[in-house]
Amino acid sequence: MSLLMILLTIFLPPVAVAVKEGIGLQFLLNVLLTLIGWLPGVVHAFWVASRGSATAA
Q: Tens digits of per-residue pLDDT, 9-48?
A: 999 999 999 999 999 999 999 999 999 999 999 999 999 9
pTM over 0.75: yes
What's the total number of domains in the chain? 1
In a domain, 25, yes or no: yes
Helical segments of the chain, H only:
3-11, 13-21, 25-36, 38-50
Q: Is-contact 29 45, C-beta < 8 A?
A: no
Q: At residue 53, does pLDDT exceed 70?
A: no
In a domain, 57, yes or no: no
